[in-house]
Structures are given as structure tokens and as C-alpha cells.
Amino acid sequence: MVIRGYSLMTTWNETDFVAGDVVLDFLNTVGDHDKQRAIEKLTCWKDALDWAARAGVVDAAEAGQLAATSGQSLALALLREFREAAFGLLSAFIKGVEPPSDAKRAVEASVHDAMDVTTMGSTGRQLAWDVAPEHQGPDLIRHRLALRLFHLTASPQMSKIKECKRCTWLFIDHGRGNGRVWCKMAGCGNRAKMERFRAT
């Protein structure tokens, strides 16, 4: 996918978190109204940090540490590459076609990298996997998202993932029958209605 433009957006709101899963919300960090994935919303490291904090991928203390870390440009580039590879993989899965081999390899490598720096901990009466404290550098966001993608692909939610009919945003459809077809009714759904109205 080629990102042709950049958004000036540096804040995130509830309309950016409509997918039903944090990994899918991450894959939706592009502006898109015509299946082109043309507008980059992660324009700088601050955008990525703000998104990750709002999504709960990092806490405030971690975001503060990551804001001062070195290697931000490379970490941002790798984060974007992971996003597009993961999108290519899931989009192909939804369409029932073989995923691009480069996307599959890139996702596998990201998951392996994340697993290599992961340790098991416990919170209350639950065990949880997370990136080890000594590896919580600029790749923390990407590693945590790769772990979450790994868990998502092994979950029953995979069969409920859909791609918006109008754009490339992904979401989990909990509806019955035909269920949800738009990422957001207020966005793509309304635009589709207007197009149908104009066509009549």
C-alpha cells in the first residue's frame, strides 16, 4: 500500500476506535474513503505515542519514557511497516485469498521479534505475557501490538472480522444476519447513502 498524503491530525478521539479490537484500530490509523489507504495519520512519533496511550497499549509513564527515547524515526518506520503488513495479511484472510508473501513474512518476523523479548507475569489471579522491562525501548508499541495480533489470529474473533465496504478499515462484526458493513455509519455509511440518493 502506498501512503500518498499526511494528515494534520495529532489528536485521537472515539471515532478512531470503532473496530472492537485494539489491533484493528491500529490498522485503521490511515485516512481512507476509497480503498486506497492514502492518508497517513501516524505522521510523527508523537502521533504514534498519543494513539498508543489513548488505545491503552502504553500507560502514561511508558509514553513519557518513549517520548524521550532515541531511535524514534526508525521505530515509527517499523511500526508503519508492521501496520501495512498486518493489514495485507488480514485483508487477504477476509477476502479468502492467499496473503502476499512479503506481508506474511513481515508479520511472522514481527511476532517472532516480540516473542523473543516477552516474559510471563501475573496480575492478580491471571497470567499475562508482556514485553520484558529491559526491552521496553522504542519498539515497545510494535512488540505489544504484534503480541496482540498473535492472540487475535488464534481467537474466535477472527471469523468475525470484516472490511468496510467503502474503505479499508477493519472491524469485528458482532451483528446477526448480514451484520455491520461500514466502519462507521456516520462516515462511510452516510457517504454511501448520499451516493445512492444522487444516483436515483
- Over residues 110-146, the pLDDT tens digits come to 999 999 999 998 888 889 889 988 888 999 999 999 9
pLDDT for 32 = 77
As a whole number of angstroms, the distance between CA 103 and CA 89 comes to 6
H-helix or E-strand containing 104? helix 101-116
Q: CATH: 1.10.3300.10, 3.40.50.10700, 1.50.10.20, 3.90.1150.10. Which one for 5-199? A: 1.10.3300.10
Decide: 29 and 51 in contact? Cβ < 8 Å: yes
pLDDT for 198 = 55
Residue 162's pLDDT band (boundaries 50, 70, 90)? very high
